[in-house]
A and B are shown apart, each in its own frame.
Chain A
Amino acid sequence: MITVWLNSEQKQLEDPTCLAEALARWQPPGEGFAIAINEVFVPRANYAATQLRDGDQIELLVPMQGG
């Protein structure tokens, strides 16, 4: 098992798990989100090829009001 943080919330995953598999489990809202891991942007096309590692900080952001 590995421990990762999704928007600062602790999550347990089997090792290995790729980002696409983790997202399938967490079910984020539709297509309307973008991801960074450890402050590095991960393009959608790379989700399946991105293996998650113990301690990864995953940032999942959605559209929000802004000025």
Chain B
Amino acid sequence: MWQLADQSLESRLLIGSALYPSPSIMQDAIRASGAGVVTLSLRRQNPGAGGGNDFWALLRELDLHLLPNTAGCHSVKEAITTAQMARELFDTRWIKLEVIGDEYNLQPDPFGLLEATRELISQGFEVLPYCTDDLVLCEKLVDAGCRILMPWGAPIGTGKGLINPYALNTLRQRMPDITLIVDAGIGAPSHAAQALEMGYDGVLLNTAVAQASDPVAMATAFKHAVSAGRLAYEAGVMPARDMAQPSTPVLGTPFWKP
């Protein structure tokens, strides 16, 4: 078990609810992932886009912790209002805070994110900011009161994995007491394992499972990868070195000549 804010969770995988081929596959995949937290959003009612009461009923059947997001918000005001609406609708003070600064790569706006974070924390929210891996930004988010940070591995939906392991590793080393979750960019189970091996507390992903040929099987693969990565971290991954070192004993080497 581990602690995410005020909740004890078994799995270190957090999963999204979007982009699945069908609602039933969404349900099956989320169950197979073993995730204890699922992300969701708010939108205008649109019969062609799913969502609404039917989606809400399916998600409630899963009985998971809800993490609403402010996806699509480009201003501090939009993000704050969306968070307030989510708090009432989903009856949770958790918010995955997204303030997008660039439309091309959906990169978070660090300045807007920090401003919205300060305001929402003052209103009693548990803010889980979707942020870049910039150390100074992350330090300021912690100063603002964040207990959890969610730096990107790569831009949303790219599946490129951890494109800047140095920066992510620096965050882990410099913030040993902050819950760190890699959010976005995870494409393969090996990426998730890499984040956990690095000491990250969890990963949040959606597209890699939902858009797999077999989302339920992929969800299972991620479940195992996250467990393996965490186990490896706890076991202690050996340090890399430049020089070869034989693993077979040198003593008693056959045909040895002095």
Contacts and interface: CB of A to CB of B under 8 A. Distances in A.
B68 A32 contact: no
Interface of B: 16-20, 26, 39-45, 49-53, 55-56, 59, 68-69, 71, 77-78, 81-82, 84-86, 88-90, 156, 205-207
B53 A62 contact: yes
Contact of B89 (A34, A39, A40, A66): A34
A66 B15 CA distance: 10
Interface string A18-48: 0000000000111011111001110110000
A39 B53 contact: no
Interface residues of A, number: 23
A46 to B, nearest CB: 11
Nearest to B207: A67
Nearest to A38: B81
25 contacts: A7-B45, A28-B45, A29-B53, A32-B89, A33-B45, A39-B77, A39-B81, A41-B81, A41-B88, A61-B85, A62-B56, A63-B59, A63-B89, A64-B40, A64-B52, A65-B19, A65-B20, A65-B50, A66-B39, A66-B40, A67-B18, A67-B19, A67-B39, A67-B69, A67-B207
Interface of A: 7, 28-30, 32-36, 39-41, 43-44, 59-67
A39 to B, nearest CB: 5
Contacts of B88: 34, 41, 43-44
Nearest to B42: A61
B85 A34 contact: yes
B69 to A, nearest CB: 5
A36 B81 CA distance: 7
A63 B90 contact: yes
A67 B38 CA distance: 8
